[in-house]
Amino acid sequence: MKFRAKMIDVGCLNHFSRVVNTISKLTKICILRLTPNNLYFVLSGKVASGGVGMWCELSQANFFDEYQLEGVAPDANEICLEVTPENLSRALRTSQNAKCVKIKLTKKHCPCLTFVAELPTLSSVSRVVTHDIPVDVIPRRLWHDFKEPRMPDFDVSIYLPPLKTMKNVVDRMKNLSNFLVMEANLNGEMNLKIETDLVSVTTHFKDLGNPPWGDDGSQGRSQSRDPEVMAHTRVDIRKLQQFLMGQQVNPSKAMCNIVHKRIIHLILLHEDVSLQYFIPAVA
């Protein structure tokens, strides 16, 4: 198993750092899957993580100048590691203006991801910062847990309102209730509702637009759907808030698929990064 990669461009470095920062705000521990073409940060929707699932896909060519990977076996050319994104974030934070950053899979006292950054200095010799981040290698037999999640058969798919606005609304709602109902219809309308014994608050968003999904199994279902009818799901508000809090960059596309009473599937697309987040419904 071998992995070496190098980043030279400051812009790429910053972008990568932002992605890692976002991930670190969403979860404490996650899986990093390395394949010849992509990197994936995965959180499988198990009970341990509260049912929340995350899938973040980056195309390595957009970030790294050099990328060499030798997977576990010739027919399974990938590496699966359990990492703490916070550590990655910290390592990258201090290398913001580095001349170059190299990432290597090493074995020190335990398997580590080693980040080596060369920082520019006034003198001829540059400063070298080395971070060794301990990781756990995930054995092949557990890989099936971390496959790309299937697109759920959603009832409604809608573009999200500006994330910042959503975040403000959700922040305020969090003070009142632990659960939030998100509903949307095919007319581009979305409501965020909370209800307590004393008060109920609804925030309405209009004219959001609905993404046109292509030839999809679910398309059939939603096509025949009355555009006025709302599909709704009740979720734990903290999970939604956590998702919104972590976002640092405005995505080029942000949409949400709702499976009536089952799950909320949030999709954010940046140019070279895609992030999917699943929040299951609560009773």
Partner 1 sequence: MLAKAIHSLSRIGDELYLEPQEDGLALRSVNSSRSAYACFLFSPLFFSRYTIPLGHAFRCKMAIKCVQAVFRSLSSLEKTVEKCHIELDGETSRLTFTLHCKHGLLKTHNLSFQDSESLQAVFDKESCANMLRAQPRLLVDTVLHFPPSLEEVSVSVSGERVWFRNHVDDEAEQSKAMLTELCLSSDEFDHFAVGAQTSITFCLKELRGLLVFAESTGLPVSMYFDEPGSPVVLSVTDSVLEVNFVLATLSDDSNLCNHNNNTKRARSPPPPDDFMTDDIDSYLIAMETSELAGPSDALAPRSPSSNHTLTTQPSAAMRSLERGEEEEEDTEDTERPPNKKFRSLFFGSVCPSDSQLTNQTIKSQEVLASDSEDDTQASLP
Q: Which residues make up the interface to partner 1 (CB under 8 A)?
A: 87, 90-91, 94, 108-110, 121-125, 127-134
**DSSP result, 186-224:** TTS-EEEEEE-SS-EEEEEE---------S-HHHHHHHT
d(CA 238, CA 240): 5
Residue (106 or 218) nearer to partner 1, CB: 106
Residue (124 or 224) nearer to partner 1, CB: 124
Residue (116 or 267) nearer to partner 1, CB: 116
What ranges in 59-150 are assigned the alpha helix state H? 85-93
Residue (122 or 198) nearer to partner 1, CB: 122
In three-state secondary structure terms, 161 is coil
Residue (125 or 283) nearer to partner 1, CB: 125
Residue (56 or 135) nearer to partner 1, CB: 135
The least distance separating partner 1 from the CB of residue 97, rounded to whole angstroms, comes to 11
Residues 6+ apart with CB under 8 A from 154: 218, 222, 231, 257, 258, 259, 265
Helix 163-174 to helix 237-246 angle (10° resolution) is: 140
The least distance separating partner 1 from the CB of residue 88, rounded to whole angstroms, comes to 9
Neighbours of 97 (CB within 10 A): 11
On whether the CB atoms of residues 270 and 280 are closer than 8 A, the answer is no
CA neighbours closer than 13 Å in the CB half-sphere of residue 93: 10
Find the distance separating the first CA and the last CA of the chain, reported in whole Å: 44
The least distance separating partner 1 from the CB of residue 100, rounded to whole angstroms, comes to 15
The full length of the chain comes to: 283
The least distance separating partner 1 from the CB of residue 16, rounded to whole angstroms, comes to 18
The least distance separating partner 1 from the CB of residue 115, rounded to whole angstroms, comes to 9
The least distance separating partner 1 from the CB of residue 159, rounded to whole angstroms, comes to 39
Residue (127 or 261) nearer to partner 1, CB: 127
On whether the CB atoms of residues 189 and 206 are closer than 8 A, the answer is yes
The least distance separating partner 1 from the CB of residue 128, rounded to whole angstroms, comes to 4
Torsion of CA 42, 115, 15, 30, to 10 degrees: 10
